[in-house]
Structure formats: structure tokens, C-alpha cells
């Protein structure tokens, strides 16, 4: 009788709405999932409990995505626990909005540190670590195509993510590792819904031809495809937005 070793996934920002849905979906696909979190240990443990209650395998590990020492330790601990890394999904990110003319440069630097440097640090470790057949999935946003006022600084960080993702895919020639980005449109996460009147939510939902917001499960479905069967998709940005852009 032969046994198969589960594939191993690291999901950064796995306590957020999309990150949690990704962690749950990859665990349902049979992967052992490292639930990365930055500060909310209780929420990370709750995610792990959800994974294990559904018959999956998960471990919560803390780290600052922009700190190379902390993330190196996370990758090393993952290897010690599970023997290696097959999938890395970078959902960790922050969004601070405002018009260019009045934008606070401190907010810009803070967002750049998490969204750009953090993605670069984790991508670098993934490039060094992922086993053959592996996949790296970074996160962009459909806002890069929508040109919405107030989103310039955020879109700029995600444009940088797209650039590094597409180039890294070519740098990993011969490794049998895919590198792609998912670019969600408006998605019904607690962060997105908070503070928005229902009228505004309905208006945004109506922009998509499918006349609804995306759900975290919709985005997780796209990630699961890129992390699993989508082996011929490489060096691409997959827009998961229901046709909004």
C-alpha cells in the first residue's frame, strides 16, 4: 500500500476575509496549510480550528511579511513541520486610500512596506524554496484597470506586485514552478463592507455584469485553480472580478 504526502501551502494574511477563504479551500483540497498572521493570534487559531474541524491540517505561524528574518523563520519552521513547501499564496496587504494631492506619505510608505516589500520578501523565499510542481500566487487588484479616484497609491503598490510576479515567472525557467497573480474586484469581505451604506454597496455590485459582489470563496476558487490543476497558466494576472474590468 502506498501513501502520498500532502502538498504544503503557506498562506500569508490568512486571518483576513480572502486569506481565510483561501486557507480553507486549500485545506479542503488536501493541503497542509500554514496560517500566517501578523498580530491576531486568536483569529489565527480560530482559522486553524476551522481547518482541523473539517478534517484538514493547519498550523498558525506569526511573522511580519516585510521582515526577511521573520519570514525566513516561518519558511524554515514549515519545512521542519511538513518537509517542504509546494504552494505560497500572498494575500497579506493593506489598503489606505486618498487622492494624490493630499495623500499622506507616511501612509504611502507603510502601504509600500507591506504590499510591495512584503510581497517581494515572500516571493524571494518562495523562489528559493518551492518544490517542483509548486506554485506562487501573489495578489494584485482590479483597481489597476479601473482608474478610480482615491486609489492611486494602493494601485501603485499592486502594479509593482504585478511587475515582479510576471518577471519572476520567467526567472524560474526550468524549475516547474508557476508564478501568477490574482486581481480581485470588489469582494464582500468585512473590511470592504465596513462603513459603506447599503446604497453604495448595491451601486458597486451593479457595476459587474453579474450584478453582485464577489465573495471570498470566488477568489479562493481562482487561487485553488492556480495552485492546483492550472499548471499551464504561468506568468499571468488572473482578473477575478465578474467582468467589472
CA dist., res. 119 & res. 114, Å (int): 7
Q: Which of 123, 105, 210 is nearest to 160 (CA)?
A: 123
Grid cell digits, residue 43: 483569529
| Cα dihedral value 166, 227, 219, 99, nearest 10 | -30
Question: Which listed residue (37, 82, 151, 154) is catalytic?
Answer: 154
Residue 199, φ and ψ in degrees, nearest 5: -60, -40
- Please tell me what DSSP assigns to residue 57: E
DSSP tally for the chain: helices H, then strands E: 10, 7
The SS3 call for residue 193 is helix
Annotated catalytic, 154?
Answer: yes
| Cβ count within 10 A of residue 42 | 9
**DSSP E strands: which ranges in 2-122?**
8-12, 32-37, 57-62, 87-90
Phi-psi region of 54 (alpha: psi -120 to 50; beta: other; left: phi over 0): alpha
The answer to whether 178 touches 200, Cβ cutoff 8 Å, is no
Catalytic machinery residues = 154
Amino acid at each position: 500500500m502506498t501513501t502520498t504526502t500532502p502538498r504544503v501551502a503557506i498562506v500569508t494574511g490568512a486571518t483576513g476575509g480572502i486569506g481565510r477563504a483561501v486557507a480553507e479551500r486549500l485545506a479542503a483540497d488536501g493541503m497542509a496549510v500554514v496560517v500566517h498572521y501578523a498580530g491576531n493570534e486568536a483569529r489565527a487559531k480560530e482559522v486553524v480550528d476551522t481547518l482541523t474541524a473539517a478534517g484538514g491540517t493547519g498550523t498558525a505561524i506569526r511573522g511580519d511579511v516585510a521582515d526577511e528574518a521573520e519570514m525566513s523563520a516561518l519558511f524554515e519552521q514549515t519545512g521542519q513541520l511538513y518537509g517542504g513547501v509546494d504552494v505560497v499564496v500572498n494575500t497579506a496587504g493593506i489598503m489606505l486610500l486618498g487622492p494624490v494631492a493630499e495623500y499622506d506619505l507616511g501612509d504611502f510608505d507603510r502601504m509600500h512596506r507591506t504590499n510591495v516589500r512584503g510581497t517581494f520578501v515572500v516571493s524571494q523565499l518562495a523562489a528559493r524554496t518551492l518544490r517542483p510542481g509548486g506554485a506562487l500566487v501573489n495578489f494584485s487588484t482590479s483597481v489597476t484597470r479601473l482608474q478610480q479616484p482615491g486609489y492611486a497609491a494602493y494601485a501603485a503598490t499592486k502594479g509593482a506586485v504585478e511587475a515582479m510576479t510576471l518577471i519572476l515567472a520567467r526567472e524560474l525557467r526550468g524549475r516547474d514552478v508557476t508564478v501568477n497573480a490574482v486581481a480581485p474586484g470588489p469582494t464582500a469581505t468585512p473590511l470592504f463592507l465596513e462603513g459603506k451604506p447599503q446604497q453604495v454597496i448595491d451601486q458597486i455590485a451593479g457595476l459587474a455584469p453579474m450584478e453582485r459582489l464577489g465573495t471570498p470563496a470566488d477568489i479562493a476558487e481562482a487561487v485553488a485553480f492556480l495552485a492546483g490543476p492550472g499548471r499551464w497558466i504561468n506568468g499571468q494576472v488572473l482578473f477575478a472580478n465578474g467582468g467589472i474590468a
